[in-house]
Chain A
Amino acid sequence: MAGESRIGTLLRYAGIALVLAIVLFPVYWMINMSFKDTAEFTARPPTMIVKRPTWENYRDILISQGFDRYAWNSLLTALTAAVVAVTVGSLMAYALSRFRLPKNFNYHLLFTILTVRMFPPILSLIPLYYIYKQIGLLDTRFGLGLIHAWVEVPLVVWMMIGFFRDIPRDMEEAALVDGDTRLGVLRKIAVPLARPGLAATFILVFISSWNEFLFALILNSRNQTLPIAVAGQITQFEIRYGNLMAAGVFATVPVLILAFLTQRHLTRGLTVGGVTG
């Protein structure tokens, strides 16, 4: 392409600049508006960069609306989801990448788990409401975390199979020859070596649980998580847009920080599993 015209290159960069502008503007606008006071909020023309930045909106949602509690609920739920999903999923991934189960079970298990990813359990939602009510998990952060974990177990399995496969087998075999047990090998060699993968997967599950809406809305109406609380800002009668924007930003910031921490593996995770709403 070296011989191609400069205009072509220029057009391409212009095109991508336009795409980036469209992608980033709504995010920027939400942040910008969240720092405006009431007067500046309704000003026409709107100020493109906030002139008198204020924490007013954030103070409102944190102090008078209890967003600190919703954040705590979200945190506990997402941690439960991530711990459970990463444990259950990576144990299964390790088994599938190291052992050969009879009757082609490796393939069947992998296929079944993929089906779960394709059809998240909307059908389970209504019975789960009843089951949870009976066993006392309804309106608990732990119960919500469990179902979030289940939704993401397929992602963990598929990602961790890749990571476990990248670990050289020789070390494990050497340890086995030295008389170590297989469980010991898993604990002392495989898990430490797969740590970057485990961390990345943990963060992906955390993000997905943090963002989830439908299950959180129905199964945990008492300990609201952040998305539910943000949506709750919109009432029939009035919308305080300043608070709403601050709430939106407040729910987004932790996710952005986590995403940038794990950048290297994020793309892989997103393309394997897709943390989409």
Chain B
Amino acid sequence: MAIRIRAQEAARVRPVSARAPWWERNLAWLLVAPAIAMFALFAIYPTASALLFSLSRARLIRGSLERTYIGLDNFRRAFEDPLVRQSAAFTIKWSLSVTAMEVLLGLLIALLVSQLARGRGLITSLLIIPIIMPPVSVAVAWRFMYDPAFGIFNYLLNLVGLGDVYWLSDPDVATYALMAVDVWQTTPFVFLLLYAGLISLPRDPYEAAAIDGASPWFTFRTVTLPLLKPVLLVVILLRVIDSARIFDKILVMTRGGPGSQNYSMTYTIYQEFIPKFDFGYTAALSFLFQLSLVIVATIYVRRVMADYSAPAE
């Protein structure tokens, strides 16, 4: 995955003469300038003003923003808010479970497909469909299948003599039903990454293992898994961070329900923001959320990926 700038290649283009016009001499900077401008407009400035908001009581009153400095009150309120604690716990549980299932299933499918003699291309193209579908369409398709009265799942359950399940409103079931939808949509993405990693592994260790008469399971544990580990670690990090931001499927399928059981962090922030326009509190919440993601990622990269990440060039 790592793309390195090949310094010697870049240097091969000869230097521009000093008499060239200024835009020719500074072309490299001019080319990166729009990206840097966007970075300033969409990342730096909003982050700075989010920090400012989070230290203020800031509300939209008749179209204009009224802001007074209140120190850390918003953060204090966030830590005491039971809904925030609950949605933080939900998000952690969601992110870890979904990642675990997706990586396991994705690895399984990748191993399966890589052993097929024919049809790999076709299978890969079909598996791409869920990845590119609008998450909202995925959510409505599943919401209908989960419908207690008209859904296919309860029809099948009734067929084998079982009673109705209230997939999205039964507190014991709803979270898992939601997770299943995310696993359905994103496992193919994990598959794609792991499959790409798998088919680019060197062949020699496998030939050696075959000569030694190693069993498939033994080969998997001692050859495939260690070789694939760098890719696996990156995929896990990507999925933990991405899945923690779950929002659209939850909004479409249960509106965080039953009750507030399935409020993710993003959903809680949305709930606080849209009707009330409480800029201060929601900025504090998103700041805390973003910060925890950065901390998780940093610790993960330092501790878990340390041995595998290539040194910076």
Contact = CB atoms under 8 A, between A and B. Distances in A.
Given A120-B245, A127-B283, A231 B5 contact: no
B31 A94 contact: yes
A100 B27 CA distance: 11
A88 B34 contact: yes
Interface in A96-155: 96-101, 106-107, 109-113, 116, 118-131, 146-147, 149-150, 153
A88 B138 CA distance: 31
Given A153-B35, A270-B131, A26 B184 contact: yes
Contacts of B3: 110, 158, 161-162
B135 A92 contact: no
Contact of B5 (A107, A124, A241, A245): A107
A192 interface: no
B175 interface: no
Contact of A118 (B39, B113, B241): B241
Contacts of A259: 128-129, 132
Contacts of A54: none
Chain A contact surface mostly: helix
Contacts of B46: 121, 123-125, 127-128, 131
Contact of B42 (A26, A128, A267, A275): A128
A69 interface: no
Interface in B145-185: 145, 147, 150, 152, 155, 184-185
Interface residues of A, number: 108
Q: How many residues of B sit at the interface, in one of the four size bands?
A: 35 or more
Contacts of B247: 213-214
Interface in B252-272: 252, 266, 269-270
B272 to A, nearest CB: 10
Given A15-B112, A214-B248, A251-B136, A23 B290 contact: no
A149 to B, nearest CB: 8
Contacts of A234: 140, 143, 252
Contacts of B286: 122-123, 125-126
Contacts of A13: 116
A233 B140 CA distance: 10
Of B35, B145, B242, B266, chain A has the most CB atoms within 10 Å of the CB of B35
- 10 shortest A-B CB distances, which residue pairs? A124-B46, A277-B135, A99-B28, A95-B31, A213-B248, A30-B141, A248-B137, A127-B46, A227-B136, A127-B49
Interface of A: 1, 9, 12-13, 15-16, 19-20, 22-24, 26-27, 29-30, 33, 41-42, 44-46, 87-89, 91-92, 94-101, 106-107, 109-113, 116, 118-131, 146-147, 149-150, 153, 157-158, 161-162, 165, 169, 172-173, 176, 181-183, 207, 210-211, 213-214, 217-218, 226-227, 230-231, 233-234, 241, 244-245, 247-249, 251-252, 255-256, 259-260, 263, 266-267, 270-272, 274-277
24 contacts: A20-B126, A44-B155, A92-B31, A95-B29, A107-B312, A109-B36, A113-B39, A118-B241, A122-B286, A123-B50, A125-B46, A126-B286, A127-B283, A153-B38, A169-B12, A211-B132, A213-B247, A213-B248, A227-B134, A227-B136, A231-B136, A244-B143, A252-B137, A259-B132
